Structure 1
């Protein structure tokens, strides 16, 4: 599944994982993406949405 929010466009963040001996390796922080049924132009559609958008009410859930 794509780790990009279809509402706000939030994607993974990149950085380094630093061990005790200070060896640095690449790592990524993925956003919390959930697959939800939402109303888009009055019709239900499945979207990949981050939980920040769900909590902020940017998505109208269709149950």
Structure 2
């Protein structure tokens, strides 16, 4: 379950690197995940959350 946002479920995007010679190799764009302490159901747990969810306030950080 690594590299998945706990809040929105965002996962790595897949595509190609394209060189000037138009050669293509597979690559992945990883989401900007941060390990954050979150309060959920009265307990504190450490989860991976993307920076967009942190900025939007979709999670409640533990003090």
- Whether TM-score is above 0.5 comes out as yes
Paired residue for 1:53?
Answer: 53
Q: Match of 1:10?
A: 10
Gap runs ≥5 in structure 2:
none
CA RMSD of aligned residues (A): 1.2
Give ranges in structure 1 of 5+ residues lacking alignment. Answer: none
Runs of 4+ off more than 3 Å? none
Q: Give the aligned partner of residue 40 of structure 1.
A: 40
Deviations 1:9-57 (CA, angstroms, capped at 9, x unpaired): 0000000100011100000000000010010112111011001110000
- 1:6 Cα shift? 1.0
Give the number of equivalent residue pairs: 63
CA distance in 1, matches of 2:31, 2:56: 15
Q: TM-score, normalised by structure 2?
A: 0.94
